[in-house]
Structures are given as C-alpha cells and as structure tokens.
Amino acid sequence: MKPNVKIGSFLMAVVMIFSVLIVSGCTPMSLNKEWSYKSGDKELAIGVYIYSLDTAYQKAKSFAEKLDDYDETKDSWLEMEITDDDGKKEVASKWIKDQAKLMCLSYLVLDEQIEKEKVDISKDTIASADEQAETYWNVGQYADYGYVMPMKNDLEPYGISLESFRYCSTEYSVKYQALFDKLYKEGGSKEVTNEELTKYFNDNYTDYSYFSVNLYTSSTDEAGQSTNVAMSEKEAKKVTDEIDGYVKDVNGGKSYDDVLKAYMKANEIESDPSTSNIENLENSSLGDEVKEAIKKLDNNKAAAVKVGSGENAVYYFVYKRNIKDAAKDYLEDENNSANVLSSMKGEEFADYIEELTKSLDYEENSSVINQYEPKMFFVPVEPTTSAEESSDSSAKE
C-alpha cells in the first residue's frame, strides 16, 4: 500500500492510508549498510529513498496522464512539464526527485520531533505495526478478500526491504498520528479546546438524509444484460409529483421521519431506503448536484433535485437537520472527535512538518542516491491490436 504524494497536504495523505489500519511505533536508525539521508545518529536506508522515489513516480505519472501528448508506451513523459495538486509546474523527473527527498527529510523530522516531544508509543503498538506491515509484505492488503498480492513481489526487485517498507508506511503513519495527537489534543502545545472543536464542527459539518427514485425502468435479458429505459413524461411526472409532495409536507411542518414512513407505506417499501450521514460535505462522495442542494437548505427543510437525464435520471429527496443538535453526542465519540480534529488541523500539521524539513540539519549520500533514477520504474504499456485489425491482417495473409 503506497501513500499518496502531495508534500504539504501530501504528508497527511501518507498517514491517512495507514493510520486507519493500525497503531504503531518507532524502530530503525539504520536499515542497511547503505544510507541515503541522515540527521544526527539517525540514518535512512537506501531502500527508504527508493520507496519514496517509487511513490513520487506513481503520483507524477497520474499528473502526466492528463497531458495531451502523454504516451504510455514511452518514458518521454518524464521530461515533460507536469502540474501537481498545488498548481506547481515542473519537469516530471525533477519533481519526482524533489518529492522523494522531501519525503525522506519528513521521516527524519518526524523521528526528531517524536523524541523532542517525548511521545510515548507502546510496545503493543509497535508489535501491531510490525505485524500489519509483514501481512502487506507477504500476502498484500486484499488477502481478506481472496486476492493474494504480496507487496514484496513489487518492491524487492527494486532493492526495497521489508524494514524499509515498514519504516515508510505503517511506522511512519502511526508516529505521525501520535505526534499530531501530542500537539493538538489536551495538554499539547497546539491544543484545540472542546469549544474550538465544536465551533469547527458546527461551521463545517452537515447532518443530512436522502432517498432517491429512478426515473427509468430496468430489465434483464436472457444473457444477463441489463437495459435501462427512460420513463415516459407522464410516468416520470407521477414520480416527481409524489416526491415534491413529500418535500412540501416537510417544509410545511411535518417531521422527516413521518414523511419517510408515509413514502415507504405508499410504495410498499419494508426496509428504510434512506441514507443519513454527518460529514464535511467538502470531502463527501455525494454527487455535486446533491451536495449543492443540501448546502442551500435551511435547517429542518427538504428539497428535490433531479440528477442525470433520460435512461440515467434519478430524483432525490434531500433533508438537512440542524448540525448543532448533533454536536454533543457526535463529538463524545472518540473516533468521531479524532476525525473532526484531523479535518480541522490536518493540513496545518502537514505544513508544520514540511516547514521543519527546511531547517533540518542533515547529510545526503549523493553518490548512492544518484544511482537511482525515476525511469527505473517505467514499464511500457504495449499497444494493443483490435480484433478487427487482427482479422483483417489474417485475411490479407
């Protein structure tokens, strides 16, 4: 499992992938005989640099794929100018090297700050991190779903060891989270009070519910192929008029729960068809039309919104509650409170770590680092030949 690269907010992205999976601790000073960067008595193995270079390469590739002249069969994109998530433009190969270096310095900064702030990470936490990393390494992250894809098969050929992988992923994630908690939770030098957290929650989170109705019918043929057919104008109007009526009921004073029950009874629906959530809509996976409709609502009001057209049209009933009514119970849950704090201060903390890299006293083992170039990760995608072209070619022969 590779972290997503975006220095600044990248550092938080590195963590989010792993912190939800485990809690871990600190280990190695030097992971093998060849080191890449070091600060004081802490050295990073060359495998740590290679892993960082690979991670940056994959992210740069995603930027390059947006270019008009990107060609997946050639590595020429490495010398093209890309634009990253921060809007910075740079030749891809240089961007990759810069990010890999910055990642390595962030590892050293984190180790330094963990020691400086006297962050305590338990032995059980360390053991959990080691176990999780070894699982990813030996069977992959999707083994529970029946897909065995050992990460060592992808990483070892480039000279990345289990120790380096563990240091960059599970350990870094948890050390990062532990330092974040030390600084921003109660008693920390950047402490966020309950009042501040509640205000951020009330200002940025939304408590909403919705259910939807298709404005098309679906059928499946003998071969198992599904086909959607748009409703007639008359049929669609019957559906939208019904939903609009429920919207009118809520906005006229009826409770959302009563209206939902009425909808279920009228349509002989036994299981609750609605979705309810409390989240920051800026980070929501909801479609833009639905999000905008919810944002425009006053508290305890409803609206209807059509998304799509023809055989893909869907009609949504959306409802918004007063977020302040949910604040106390929601934030009393430790996981919820941690997630809100992360949303509130995550980017600030990522910028803080990046800023510390600028004043870090470090050494770079250039003679070793320069042996590794981004193009080492390039795997050309062979152009495919369509069945029709193949058949034409065979006919000519």
Encode pLDDT of 191-227 as tens digits: 999 999 999 999 999 999 999 999 999 887 777 788 8
Rounded to whole angstroms, what are the CA distances from 352 to 19, 106, 176, 186, 209?
A: 19, 10, 12, 19, 37
Instruction: Please state, in angstroms and rounded to a whole number, the distance separating the CA atoms of residues 169 and 115.
Output: 19
Classify the phi-psi angles of 224: left when phi > 0, otherwise alpha if psi is within -120 to 50, otherwise beta.
Answer: left
Q: Give residues with Cβ within 8 angstroms of 35, minimum separation 6.
A: 43, 44, 45, 46, 365, 368
List domains and CATH numbers for the chain: 10-191+333-384 (no CATH), 200-327 (3.10.50.40)
Q: Give residues with Cβ within 8 angstroms of 290, minimum separation 6.
A: 210, 305, 307, 316, 318
Burial level of 67, CB count in 10 A (0-12/13-18/19+)?
Answer: middle
* pLDDT confidence of residue 227: 86
- Name the nearest CA neighbour of 177 among 29, 340, 10, 346: 346
Predicted confidence (pLDDT) per residue in 352-376, tens digit: 999 999 999 999 999 999 999 999 9
Burial level of 87, CB count in 10 A (0-12/13-18/19+)?
Answer: exposed
Instruction: Please state, in angstroms and rounded to a whole number, the distance separating the CA atoms of residues 5 and 11.
Output: 8
Instruction: Please state, in angstroms and rounded to a whole number, the distance separating the CA atoms of residues 149 and 142.
Output: 7
Which positions of the chain have pLDDT values less than 50? 1-32, 387-397
Q: How far, rounded to the nearest angstrom, does the alpha carbon of residue 214 sit from its chain's CA centroid?
A: 29
Give yes or no for a contact between 91 and 99, defined as CB atoms under 8 angstroms apart: no
- Kindly compute the dihedral angle of the four CA atoms of residues 67, 157, 7, 360, in this order, to the nearest 10 degrees: -140
* Percent above pLDDT 90 for the chain: 81
- Amino acid found at 183: L
Q: Phi and psi (nearest 5°) for 215?
A: -105, 35
Q: What is the pTM of this model?
A: 0.82
* pLDDT confidence of residue 33: 61
* pLDDT confidence of residue 381: 85
Instruction: Please state, in angstroms and rounded to a whole number, the distance separating the CA atoms of residues 315 and 212.
Output: 6
Report which DSSP code applies to 154.
H
The residue with tokens 């009330």 is 202
Question: Three-state SS for 269?
Answer: coil
Q: Give residues with Cβ within 8 angstroms of 315, minimum separation 6.
A: 212, 213, 214, 215, 239, 240, 243, 304, 305, 306, 307
